[in-house]
Structure 1
Amino acid sequence: MIRKNQPASSALVWFRRDLRNFDHAALYHALRDHDTVFCAFVFDTDILDTLPSRTDRRVEFIRASLVELDAALRQQGGALVVCHGPARKEIPRLAAQLEVSAVYTNRDYEPQAVERDAEVARRLAALDIAFSDFKDQVIFERDEVLTQAGKPFGVFTAYKNAWLRTVNDFYLRSYPVGNHIAQLRAAPQARGVPTLAELGFETSNLGTLRMKCGMSGGAELFDDFTERMNDYKDARDFPAVKGVSYLSTHLRFGTVSIRELARHAHQRGGAGAETWLSELIWRDFYHQILYHHPHVVEHAWKAEYDDIRWETGKAADELFATWCEARTGYPIVDAAMRQINQTGFMHNRLRMIVASFLTKDLGIHWLRGERYFAEHLNDYDLAANNGGWQWAASTGCDAQPYFRIFNPVTQSERFDALGKFIRRYLPELKDVPEKYIHAPWKMPAALQESVGVVIGRDYAAPIVDHAQAREATLARFKLRDRS
C-alpha cells in the first residue's frame, strides 16, 4: 500500500457495478493512498457481444447512470474515461497510457469476473502496475461469516443468525470519499460517455417506463421506501401493492450503497425493517454460495440433483416457449411473464411462482428459466438469480422441499385476490368476474361469451393440469431418490 510519505504516485479507479462517487471502497482507498487519481469505466465487449438484443435496458440504465457519475466527478475535479472493448485489454492499456502505479477496483464474485480480474492483474503486473480490489457490493464476503467448524454456511437461517451476531458499526460505516477528493484528476482521454448508437445499441422502452437511473434515481427510490418500510413485511408479497423497495437494479449496479441501506434497516428496527434487512442478508448469502461453490452456475448445488430427469425434446421446447410467451393459461403466471417481458422487472413473489411453475408444473430444467431471466431482468445478478431458481427447483442450498409445490391458482387467490395485477398485464381478462379471474377456464361457456373471453380463443386454456403435474414432479424427485 502506497502512503503519502512516498514519492508522488497516481492510480486508476476502475468502476464496474459501483456507479457512484460516494461510500465507494476502491475510490476511497485510491484517493487516500495516491496523489493523483483517475477514473474509468469499460463497456466490456466480452459481455455486450453476448447480449441477445441491441435494445437492452441494462445497457441504457448503465449509460444514463454513467452520464450522471461523470458529471458528478467533473464537479469534484475529475472525470470518467469511458472505454469500449474487452476490459481485460482496455484497463491495462489505459493504465499504461496514464502511467499510473496502481489500479483499484471493487471485487466481483462471479466466476467469469474472477477469471477476468486475474488476467487483468497479470497483464498489469507485466507492466509493473499494482492491482488492488476491495469488498464493496456486500456487507460480508467470502470467509467473513463461517460456521463454528470454519466452513461456509449452506442453510440461510444459520447464516443469518451468524451475520447478525457479527455485524456492527465497523462493517456498516461509509467510506469518507469526500475527505480526500482533492486528488481527483480528469484524464485527457475523458471525452464523455458514448451514445447508445456509438456502443451499437438502440433506445429501449426505459424512458416510457420512467425508470429512475443513476445515483439520484437510487436516492429518490430509497427515500420513498423509507416512508413505507414499516409496512414492508405485510405488503411485500402482493404485486398489485407498492410494497417493495424497487431498489434491486440500483443494488445491482451500485448506484446506491449497500452499507447505507443495511445500516438504515439495522438501526431502524421493527418488523418491516428487519424483514427487509433479511432480504439484504439473503443477497450476501447467495454471493458467498457462489464464491465457495462456483459449480452452481451450471449445476445443482447438491450434485445428486443433477440426476433429475427433466423434460426434454420438442414437447418440452414448446412448453418452454409457451411459458416465455405468457401463454400458459394460468393468469398469475402469464401476467408475471408479461411483466418481465415488457418491463424487465418481476415482483419477487411472482419470481417464485413462475419458477415453480416451470420446474414443477412443466418439469423443465431450472437452468432454462435462470437463463431466460438473465436475458430479461434489469436487476439480473448471477448469485441471487441462480440461488432463487435453485431454491424454487429444490436443487439448491436450503431449498424449498421438492414436495412443497406452489399451486398457481391458490397463490393467485392469496396474493392477488382481486385480480388487480392480473388485469393490469392481461387486459383481455379485464371483464372476467373476480370469482373466475384466477382460473378463467372454470367460467361457464355462456359467461365466457358474454365477457368476451372464450377459453382457447381469447385466452389460452391451461397447458397442464396442476394436480397431475404435481404427481409427476413427486415421482420425478422420488425416482431420483431411488437412483
Structure 2
Amino acid sequence: MTSPLIFWFRQDLRTVDLPGLNAAAATGRPLIALYILDDSTPGDWIPGAASRWWLHHSLEALAGALQECGAELILRRGKAPDVLDAVIEETGAEAVYCSRQYEPWAGDLEQALHARFAERGIEFKRFPGHLLHEPGSVRTGAGDPFKVFTPFWRACRALPEPPAPRALPEDLQWHSPLPETEDLKGWQLQPQKPDWAADWLALWTPGAEGAHTRLQRFLEDRVADYGDSRDIPGVAATSGLSPHLHHGEISPRSIWHATQAWAEEHPQSRATADKFLAELGWREFSYHLLVFFPEIPDKAFKPAFEEFPWAGSQKQLRAWQRGQTGYPIVDAGMRELWATGYMHNRVRMVTASFLTKHLLIDWRAGERWFWDTLVDADLASNSCSWQWVAGSGADAAPYFRIFNPTTQGEKFDATGEYVRRWVPELSVLPDKYLHKPWDAPEAVLQEAGLELGKDYPQPIVDHREAREAALAAYGQIKGK
C-alpha cells in the first residue's frame, strides 16, 4: 500500500493555483489535507482578533471546497512540529508538502522540519505560491535587495510574467482511514460576548469563491475608474482583495493574469490597470523587505529612529483607537476599522500620520492596533506601511511630510460622504465645516444640534502646534 502524503495548509487556504497541492497530487500518493492552528508564534505575532474571525470562515470555506473534491480537512491545534509528528505516526505518511511562508520565524521552522524529517526518511518540501516573485529573485545590479519601491517594481516588470494559474487535477486520491479531526467551533476563533463582528458576513465573504467573485466584480465594475477614484474613501473604488490575499484564498498570479486579460480587452485603460498591479507590487516589496530585514516589525528600518523622542500618552492613544480625536477624517477611519475590520488605504495613511506625527506616539502602537483589528493584517504590509508613514522605513515618506487631516478630508472627501457615514453626529453640518467643526459659528452648531466637547470632541491637539512639535522631534534625529 502506498504511503500517504500530508499537504499542510498554512496561509494558502485555497485549492486553485496552489503549486504545493498540485505537486502533491502529481505524486499519485493518497493525500491528507491538514490545517494546524499554532499559537506558539514568536514575538506574540499570533493572528489578531479580526484575522481569527476571518480564519474561522475561511477554514469553513476550504473544508467545503475539499469536500467537493472528496476530501476532509483535518484540523489540529498545537505546535506544528508536534502535530505533524502525531499525524505521521497515526497515518504512516512519508512525505509532507506545504507552501512557503516568509515571516521571520517561518524559514527557521521550515529548515528545522526539513532536518527533523530527513533523519527519519520523511520527505519535506515547501513550494512558492504566496508571491509573484520569490524573495532573492529580484535584486539590484550589485546583487543587493532593493530598498526603494520604484526600481524594485521596474525590475519586477522586466522579469518574465508569472506562470499562469493552474487548476487542481480532478483525479485526486485521498487517504483512508482519516486521522481524527478537531471541531472548528471548539477553537473559538469568533468573538462571543460581545460579538463585535455580528454584521461582518454581510460585508465579507471569506473563502476562495468569495475572493474570485470579488475580483470579477472589481474588474467588471471598478477597475476602469480605479486611477481616478482609488483615493476617495466615500466611493467603492478599490478591490477589497487584501484579506483574501492575506489568507491565501486567491493567488497573486490569478489576480495578475485576470487583470492583464482585462487590460488587453480595454487597451485605453492600460494605465489604470498598471496602477492596480502596482498595488500588488507594494505587497511584493513589503515581503521582500521582510525577508531581508526580518526585524522590520519590531525595530526601525533606519536605526536613528530608535532614538526618536516619542511623547504621546495612553489617553491620546485610546482616543485615536476609538475615533474620538476631534478630527473627522481620522475618526471616520478609526470607526470604519472597528465596524468592518477594514480601512480605506488613503485613510490608513492619514490616521497613521496623525498617530505618529500629531500625537508623537510610537508607530509600533499603531501597528499592533491594526494587527488586532484588520481582517487583512499582514505582517509584511502592515509593518512596512507603518514605518513608511512614520518616516523610519524603506523608501519612507519624508519626515517633514505631515498630513493635515483637515485638508486631507476636504480634498479626498469633498462631499463628506465618508465622514457622514462613520461620524453621524456631524452629518447635518454643511460641507464647509464638516472637516473642521471647530470653525463652525455657534448658530451653525446649534442648527446641527451639535455641542462640541459633548456630542463630538474638540481636537485633542492643535494641528499647527502638533506639526511644529513633530518637526522639532524629527529634527533631533535628522543628522543621525
TM exceeding 0.5: yes
Provide the rounded CA distance (Å) in 2 between the counterparts of 1:187 and 1:213. Answer: 30
Hey, what does 2:307 align to over in structure 1? 307
| Closer/same/farther in 2, CA of residues 97 and 52 from structure 1, 3 Å limit | closer
Match of 2:365 among 358, 363, 368: 368
* Aligned residue type for 1:72: A
* Aligned residue type for 2:253: R
Match of 1:29 among 10, 19, 23: 23
Hey, what does 2:262 align to over in structure 1? 268
Match of 1:185 among 165, 170, 175: 175
* Aligned residue type for 1:440: P
Further displaced range: 266-275 or 43-52: 43-52
Hey, what does 2:58 align to over in structure 1? 65
| Closer/same/farther in 2, CA of residues 195 and 10 from structure 1, 3 Å limit | closer
Q: Is the 8 A contact 1:409 1:439 kept in 2?
A: yes
Further displaced range: 121-130 or 339-348: 121-130
Quick check: 1:172 aligned with 2:186? no
1:482 deviation in Å?
Answer: 4.1
Q: Which runs of 5+ in 2 are unaligned?
A: 264-269
1:400 deviation in Å?
Answer: 0.7
Hey, what does 1:128 align to over in structure 2? 121
1:126 deviation in Å?
Answer: 4.3
Q: Is the 8 A contact 1:237 1:348 kept in 2?
A: yes
Q: In structure 2, the residue corresponding to 1:41 is in which secondary structure?
A: strand
| Closer/same/farther in 2, CA of residues 480 and 114 from structure 1, 3 Å limit | same
* Aligned residue type for 1:71: G
Quick check: 1:445 aligned with 2:442? yes
Provide the rounded CA distance (Å) in 1 between the counterparts of 2:330 and 2:163. Answer: 38
Q: Is the 8 A contact 2:40 2:46 kept in 1?
A: no
Quick check: 1:77 aligned with 2:70? yes
| Closer/same/farther in 2, CA of residues 440 and 167 from structure 1, 3 Å limit | farther
1:319 deviation in Å?
Answer: 1.3
Q: In structure 2, the residue corresponding to 1:175 is in which secondary structure?
A: coil
1:334 deviation in Å?
Answer: 0.4
Further displaced range: 328-337 or 92-101: 92-101
Q: In structure 1, the residue corresponding to 2:357 is in which secondary structure?
A: helix
Provide the rounded CA distance (Å) in 1 between the counterparts of 2:2 and 2:314. Answer: 61
Further displaced range: 201-210 or 32-41: 201-210
Q: Is the 8 A contact 1:15 1:41 kept in 2?
A: yes
Q: In structure 2, the residue corresponding to 1:42 is in which secondary structure?
A: strand
Quick check: 1:157 aligned with 2:162? no
Quick check: 1:407 aligned with 2:404? yes
* Aligned residue type for 1:461: Q
Aligned counterparts, 1:339-378, within 5 A = 339-378=336-375
Q: Is the 8 A contact 2:100 2:128 kept in 1?
A: yes
Provide the rounded CA distance (Å) in 2 between the counterparts of 1:48 and 1:213. Answer: 26
Aligned counterparts, 1:238-387, within 5 A = 238-269=232-263, 270-311=270-311, 316-387=313-384
Provide the rounded CA distance (Å) in 2 between the counterparts of 1:183 and 1:139. Answer: 29
1:52 deviation in Å?
Answer: 9.8
Further displaced range: 135-144 or 106-115: 106-115
Q: Deviations over 1:178-229 (max 9, x none)?
A: 16x42333552265x7243444654545451312111111121111101121
| Closer/same/farther in 2, CA of residues 138 and 187 from structure 1, 3 Å limit | farther
Quick check: 1:466 aligned with 2:463? yes
Provide the rounded CA distance (Å) in 2 between the counterparts of 1:48 and 1:40. Answer: 22
Q: In structure 2, the residue corresponding to 1:96 is in which secondary structure?
A: helix
Match of 1:194 among 178, 183, 201: 183
Q: Which runs of 5+ in 1 are unaligned?
A: 1-6
Hey, what does 1:480 align to over in structure 2? 477
Provide the rounded CA distance (Å) in 1 between the counterparts of 2:342 and 2:424. Answer: 19
Q: Deviations over 1:62-106 (max 9, x none)?
A: 222222222222222322111122223212221232211111111
1:255 deviation in Å?
Answer: 1.1
Provide the rounded CA distance (Å) in 2 between the counterparts of 1:411 and 1:240. Answer: 13
* Aligned residue type for 2:356: T
Further displaced range: 154-163 or 198-207: 198-207
* Aligned residue type for 1:253: H
Q: Is the 8 A contact 1:301 1:396 kept in 2?
A: yes
Quick check: 1:222 aligned with 2:209? no
Further displaced range: 303-312 or 449-458: 303-312
TM-score (norm 2): 0.92
Further displaced range: 88-97 or 353-362: 88-97
Matched length: 469
Backbone CA RMSD of aligned residues: 2.2
Provide the rounded CA distance (Å) in 2 between the counterparts of 1:208 and 1:250. Answer: 18
Q: Is the 8 A contact 2:148 2:394 kept in 1?
A: yes
* Aligned residue type for 1:364: I
Provide the rounded CA distance (Å) in 1 between the counterparts of 2:479 and 2:275. Answer: 38
Q: In structure 1, the residue corresponding to 2:76 is in which secondary structure?
A: strand
* Aligned residue type for 2:130: Q
Q: Deviations over 1:256-311 (max 9, x none)?
A: 12111011223433122111100001101100000000121211111122221111
Q: Deviations over 1:35-84 (max 9, x none)?
A: 22211001223259969999x34323222222222222222232211112
* Aligned residue type for 1:293: F
Further displaced range: 222-231 or 263-272: 263-272
Provide the rounded CA distance (Å) in 2 between the counterparts of 1:481 and 1:51. Answer: 31
Report sequence identity in percent. Answer: 35
* Aligned residue type for 1:335: A
1:246 deviation in Å?
Answer: 0.8
Hey, what does 1:141 align to over in structure 2? 134
Hey, what does 1:391 align to over in structure 2? 388
Further displaced range: 286-295 or 129-138: 129-138
| Closer/same/farther in 2, CA of residues 57 and 48 from structure 1, 3 Å limit | farther
Q: In structure 1, the residue corresponding to 2:64 is in which secondary structure?
A: helix
Q: Deviations over 1:363-394 (max 9, x none)?
A: 11111101110011000000000111011001
Provide the rounded CA distance (Å) in 1 between the counterparts of 2:248 and 2:177. Answer: 23
Further displaced range: 93-102 or 289-298: 93-102
Q: In structure 2, the residue corresponding to 1:217 is in which secondary structure?
A: helix
Q: Is the 8 A contact 2:326 2:459 kept in 1?
A: yes
Poorly superposed stretches of 4+, deviation over 6 Å: 51-54
Q: Is the 8 A contact 1:80 1:186 kept in 2?
A: no
1:438 deviation in Å?
Answer: 0.3
Hey, what does 1:17 align to over in structure 2? 11
